[in-house]
Amino acid sequence: MELLKRFVIICCLCLVGFSGLPAQEKSKKDYEKMFSIPEIERRATERYIDQTDKPVKRFEEDLIINQKDTVNYNILLNDGDLLVRGVINGDVVVLFGDIRIESEATINGNVTAINGRIRQEAQSIVT
């Protein structure tokens, strides 16, 4: 299980633009820092969210945006699934979880899942 977790973290770093130096030039502490969850979050935020002026709200468990809800911020969700039925005016990044965009949902921003899946129903809107 630990080997699988390390593999997933390495894959995530590759997705967020990690380009490390050869192994012999890095210490154990350097690798622990690079593969830590806070570091993955920082890199994902830097690459996928910090390009906008909207504030970022961070969540750590499953999150539901209901049909009557409208949120005007970027979402960073770690280790949980996101279910969208309402409107999100901002970017969405989910680490280690899935995103489901239901038919009545609208997302005015980018949607990124790192080590997770995105399921978008036909009538939903992502711009």
Domain locations along the chain: 2-49, 56-126
- Amino acid identity of 99? I
pLDDT at residue 92 greater than cutoff 50: yes
What is the tens place of the pLDDT at every residue in 42-83?
Answer: 888 889 887 888 999 999 999 999 999 999 999 999 999 999
CA distance 96 to 78: 6
Phi-psi region of 59 (alpha: psi -120 to 50; beta: other; left: phi over 0): beta
Question: Measured between alpha carbons, how far is residue 2 from residues 20, 56, 77 in Å?
Answer: 21, 30, 22
